[in-house]
Amino acid sequence: MAEALLDISGLAKAYGALHVTAGVDLAVRPGEIHALIGPNGAGKTTLVGQIAGEVMPDAGTISFDGADITRLPVHRRARLGLARAFQITSIFPRFTALEHAALAVMAARGRTFRMLRPAASDRAAREEAARLLDEVGLGARAGVAAAALSHGEKRALELAMALAARPRLMLLDEPMAGTGPAESAAMVALLTRLKGRCAILLVEHDMDAVFRLADRISVLVNGRIIACGTPDAVRADAAVRAAYLGDGE
């Protein structure tokens, strides 16, 4: 079995009497798409927040590439290769897709780019940004203001911006939310193309997308992982069917 890139053990977080993360063990392997599914309020977003460093756990450990990152702040985790894709395109609506991607590239390589003259650093960032946009299928939309992009294109731009950090693990929280069937299919195709480039922990309610994309699926119910395995194994799991998918699916 491949060594885990992200290894979570006994993670716990309570808000008052509510145990939102109740002893989670979870391992994400290098390059895999690992989906985290579960009903509303199961604790998925809180778990992702703990992995990203935004929410401090009460107990348990998170290790990344063998290093204990349980108490590290967000920016230190990012430097180790842990990136979270944010819905970020509304911050500078008049900036173009290319400018957004270039900003992300410069933010990720701050020190490297400060060594260059301003014009050269700008050119290098734009070249890399253009490559990233090509990669997510936005090459032809580089000059379009972010606000004018379609919903699905904005999600693709956010992926390009997260990829600018050259992450080894990307945390993706509901990339299909609010997308129609065509945009959702385009996002599945895009994530399929990116597969293997970095590991992805994918939180998603769109089960069709999850079962198409995921190498493995973990099912979180009431703050606990009740099943983890391949899509086929999870689909066949009696506890999962009872707790989450419903016997009819």
Ligand X SMILES: Nc1ncnc2c1ncn2[C@@H]1O[C@H](COP(=O)(O)OP(=O)(O)OP(=O)(O)O)[C@@H](O)[C@H]1O
Q: Residue 42, interface with ligand X (CB under 6 A)?
A: yes
Report the C-alpha gap between 192 and 213 in whole angstroms. 7
* Choices 39-47, 125-133, 134-142, 211-219 (CB under 6 A): range interacting with ligand X: 39-47
Q: Residue 218, interface with ligand X (CB under 6 A)?
A: no
Report which of 24, 147, 48 is spatially closest to residue 89, judged by C-alpha positions.
147
Nearer to ligand X, 97 or 240 (CB): 240
Residues of this chain, 109-148, that bind ligand X according to CB under 6 A: none
Binding mask 44-83 for ligand X (x = CB under 6 A): xxx-------------------------------------
* Choices 14-22, 74-82, 164-172, 187-195 (CB under 6 A): range interacting with ligand X: 14-22
Nearer to ligand X, 165 or 171 (CB): 171
> Scanning the structure block, which residue is given the tokens 């998925």?
44
Closest CB 18 distance from ligand X, rounded Å:
6
| Binding test (CB under 6 A) with ligand X, winner from 8, 20, 125, 149 | 20
Closest CB 128 distance from ligand X, rounded Å:
33
Neighbours of 119 (CB within 10 A): 8
Computed over its alpha carbons, how large is the radius of gyration of the chain? 19
Nearer to ligand X, 34 or 44 (CB): 44
Could you list the residues that contact ligand X (CB under 6 A)?
15, 18, 20, 38, 40-46
